[in-house]
Amino acid sequence: MNIKALQKIGYGVYVVSSRKGDKFNGQIANTVFQVTSQPPTIAVSINRNNLTWEYIKDSRVFSVSVLCEDTPLTFIGRFGFKSGRDTDKFQGLDYKIGETGAPVVLDNAVSYLEARVKQEVDVGTHTIFIGEVVDADTLAEKACLTYDYYHQIKGGLTPKAAATYAEVKPIVKAEEKQEAKSAMAKYRCTVCGYIYEPEKGDPDGGISPGTPFEKIPDSWVCPVCGAAKTDFEKE
């Protein structure tokens, strides 16, 4: 069996949010899909170790924000690589309280959906929550972010708790290897695995393409997980 076949399945990138009492949490998920149109029903697959899982179990409601293609990595890092147990992910964000009482993230969203859980399926590490859509709207006429674009173009990573996690090393062609040798050194974040590539820089973080790692200000942080510059190691 070639497990790589699974990586050819197309996905989007979403923030799935929920509440527990008056507390909010949200996380990045790529496994969101519509399962019926009458009534409009969606499903999400959430890792049972995640705080959002606990909140959905408790409140039986969740929201989904469909992210746009130009969503910065820092935003995905906030929801995908940090735990709501340690930080308030909603601080300083544009969001609203939906009809179900769940928070709905509006920043970087092209549309949102809100659902009440009708069924759930235990699939081992994850639970699939199936919910009837009770509210939805479009927010912007922009391209939505696909999982492929996130990986290939933005250089994004997949947290270990994701339903589709797989340890994948990017395929580097021989000529690219040769080129890389003579180019500026890449640095890897020891916390999340993000690789700083001088050629690409970090435009979202104010670092122009072509900036060597050594020239980045000390105040710069990992665009994915927020780790300090000192947490990076030379590749």
> Which positions touch Fe ion (CB under 5 A)?
189, 191-192, 194, 222, 224-225, 227
**Least separation, in Å, of the C-beta of 77 and Fe ion?**
7
Which two three-digit tokens encode residue 2?
A: 């070639």
**Least separation, in Å, of the C-beta of 208 and Fe ion?**
20
Contact 195, 187 (CB under 8 A): yes
Q: Specify the residue, 161 or 189, whose C-beta has the smaller distance to Fe ion.
A: 189
In three-state secondary structure terms, 166 is coil
Q: Specify the residue, 61 or 192, whose C-beta has the smaller distance to Fe ion.
A: 192
Q: Specify the residue, 16 or 225, whose C-beta has the smaller distance to Fe ion.
A: 225
**Least separation, in Å, of the C-beta of 225 and Fe ion?**
3
Smallest CA-to-CA distance from 205 within 227, 223, 231, 219 is with: 223
**Least separation, in Å, of the C-beta of 66 and Fe ion?**
25
**Least separation, in Å, of the C-beta of 82 and Fe ion?**
10
DSSP string of 170-218, one letter each residue: PP--HHHHHHHHHSPPPEEETTT--EE-TTT-BGGGTB-TT--GGGS-T
Tell me how far apart the alpha carbons of residues 123 and 44 are, in angstroms, rounded to a whole number.
12
Tell me how far apart the alpha carbons of residues 74 and 67 are, in angstroms, rounded to a whole number.
13
**Least separation, in Å, of the C-beta of 160 and Fe ion?**
14
Phi/psi for 119 (5° steps) reads: -150, 160
Q: Specify the residue, 32 or 73, whose C-beta has the smaller distance to Fe ion.
A: 73
Give the distance, in angstroms, between the CA of residue 20 and the centroid of all CA atoms in the same chain.
Answer: 21
In three-state secondary structure terms, 168 is coil
Q: Specify the residue, 130 or 195, whose C-beta has the smaller distance to Fe ion.
A: 195
E strand spans, 30-186: 32-37, 40-47, 61-67, 95-97, 103-105, 109-123, 126-138
Q: Specify the residue, 147 or 194, whose C-beta has the smaller distance to Fe ion.
A: 194
Residues, the chain, total?
Answer: 235
Which two three-digit tokens encode residue 190?
A: 């020891």
**Least separation, in Å, of the C-beta of 68 and Fe ion?**
22
Q: Specify the residue, 93 or 222, whose C-beta has the smaller distance to Fe ion.
A: 222
